[in-house]
């Protein structure tokens, strides 16, 4: 655990939870190099979370583990510390719990972003835009084998957005004649969209959305090749979070994306 002393400054005081992890390390570097913010604490497993208050953190970035992130957020919300969260594993129950906690802290902001990379956000947007034009949509996400959750948060969110777009367009059920299958062979069902998870050493984070129509397919693919690619999105989240109290899901709400 590293902490900086609490000097009077107008810079945003940022702490990173999961600071020694694969992404956390990159985020510490990005915050240290960024203008307008100071890295005041690097916290990892085994460190006391009380260091956030002791270091005077105004905002935290959480890249830890789905098993611990809710406890971290309860502490942050209780202490009025804004949170920019990359950790995955959020479902409707968890989001509802966060909203309840935030009712007691109306000026605190929490951003849950399944993916901070701009390319992945655009992939999700383009997939949702394309979905109503095709009979079939399936998602294949490919990650390093140290990943805890499957499907990935990004794949789950993409499937939700695709399903929402298909519902809004009144799309028919997708064609699929499968009548016998080994368990898992057709992937996980996320709101009717099949999601296939691949875990292979050497990969970082990749996703394909495959859309099909009679006589043609469209594949939208995104590749994260280096975890430094998550840094700019996290910094954008930190710069916006003070002005967005309550719960926000998805960094796209803080970006000026085309409709």
Ligand X SMILES: O=C(O)C1=N[C@H](C(=O)O)C[C@H](O)C1
Q: Please give the DSSP secondary-structure letter assigned to residue 112.
A: E
Burial label for 202, CB within 10 Å (0-12, 13-18, 19+), is exposed
**Beta strands 188-190; 59-62: pairing state:** unpaired
- Min dist. Cβ of residue 217 to ligand NDP (A): 27
Give the footprint of ligand X on residues 213-242 (CB under 6 A).
Answer: none
Q: Which of these ranges, 41-49, 171-179, 191-199, 208-216, lies near ligand NDP under the rule CB under 6 A?
A: 41-49
Q: Which does 21 bind (CB under 5 to 8 A by kind): ligand NDP, ligand X, none?
A: ligand NDP
Q: Give the C-alpha distances (Å, rounded to integers) separating 64 from 41, 60, 144.
A: 15, 12, 16
152 sits near ligand X (criterion: CB under 6 A): yes
The arrangement of strands across the sheet holding 109-112 comes to 2-3, 37-43, 12-17, 59-62, 82-85, 109-112, 246-249
* Per-residue interface string for the shown chain with ligand NDP, residues 116-145, x marking contact by CB under 6 A: x-----------------------------
Alpha-carbon distance 65 to 48, whole Å? 16
Q: Is 147 a catalytic residue?
A: yes
Q: Tell me which stretch binds ligand X (CB under 6 A): 29-37, 94-102, 149-157, 169-177.
A: 149-157
Q: Is 24 in the site for ligand X (CB under 6 A)?
A: no
Active site residue 6: no
Q: Which does 186 bind (CB under 5 to 8 A by kind): ligand X, ligand NDP, none?
A: none
Q: Work out what residue 190 binds among ligand X, ligand NDP, none; the CB cut-off runs from 5 to 8 Å by kind.
A: none
Chosen from ligand X, ligand NDP, none, partner binding at 143 (C-beta under 5 to 8 Å by type): ligand X
Give SS3 for 71.
helix
Does the protein bind ligand X through residue 196 (CB under 6 A)? no
Q: Which of ligand X, ligand NDP, none lies near 64, with the C-beta cut-off 5 to 8 A by kind? A: ligand NDP
187 binds ligand X (CB under 6 A): no
Question: CB count, 10 Å around CB of 71?
Answer: 11
Q: Is the N-terminal amide bond of 19 cis, ω within 30° of 0?
A: no
Query: Active site residue: 82, 143, 196, 222, which one?
Result: 143
In this structure, are strands 2-3 and 37-43 parallel, antiparallel, or unpaired?
A: antiparallel
Residues counted in the chain: 259
Query: Which residues ranging from 15 to 34 are in contact with ligand NDP (CB under 6 A)?
Result: 17-18, 20-24
Q: Does 65 bind ligand NDP (CB under 6 A)?
A: yes
| Residue 5 exposed, middle or buried by CB count within 10 Å (0-12, 13-18, 19+) | exposed
Residues making contact with ligand NDP (CB under 6 A): 17-18, 20-24, 43-45, 63-66, 68, 86-88, 113-116, 230
Q: Which positions are annotated as active-site residues? A: 143, 147
């Amino acid at each position: 655990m590293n902490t900086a002393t609490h000097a009077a400054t107008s810079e945003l005081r940022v702490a990173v939870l999961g600071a020694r992890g694969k992404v956390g390390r990159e985020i510490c570097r990005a915050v240290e190099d960024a203008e307008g913010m100071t890295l005041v604490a690097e916290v990892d497993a085994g460190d006391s979370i009380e260091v956030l208050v002791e270091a005077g953190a105004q905002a935290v970035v959480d890249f830890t583990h789905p098993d611990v992130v809710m406890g971290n957020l309860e502490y942050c919300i209780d202490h009025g510390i804004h949170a920019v969260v990359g950790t995955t594993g959020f479902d409707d129950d968890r989001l509802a719990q966060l909203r309840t906690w935030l009712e007691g802290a109306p000026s605190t902001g929490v951003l849950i972003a399944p993916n901070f990379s701009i390319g992945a956000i655009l992939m999700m947007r383009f997939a949702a835009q394309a979905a109503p034009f095709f009979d079939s949509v399936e998602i294949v996400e490919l990650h390093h084998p140290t990943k805890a959750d499957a499907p990935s948060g990004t794949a789950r969110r993409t499937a939700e957005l695709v399903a929402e777009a298909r519902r809004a367009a009144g799309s028919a059920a997708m064609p699929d004649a499968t009548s016998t299958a080994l368990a898992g062979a057709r992937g996980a069902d996320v709101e009717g969209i099949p999601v296939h998870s691949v875990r292979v050493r050497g990969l970082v984070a990749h996703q394909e959305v495959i859309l099909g129509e009679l006589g043609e397919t469209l594949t939208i693919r995104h590749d994260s090749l280096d975890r430094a690619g998550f840094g700019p999105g996290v910094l954008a989240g930190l710069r916006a979070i003070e002005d967005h109290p309550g719960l926000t899901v998805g960094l796209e709400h803080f970006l000026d994306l085309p409709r």
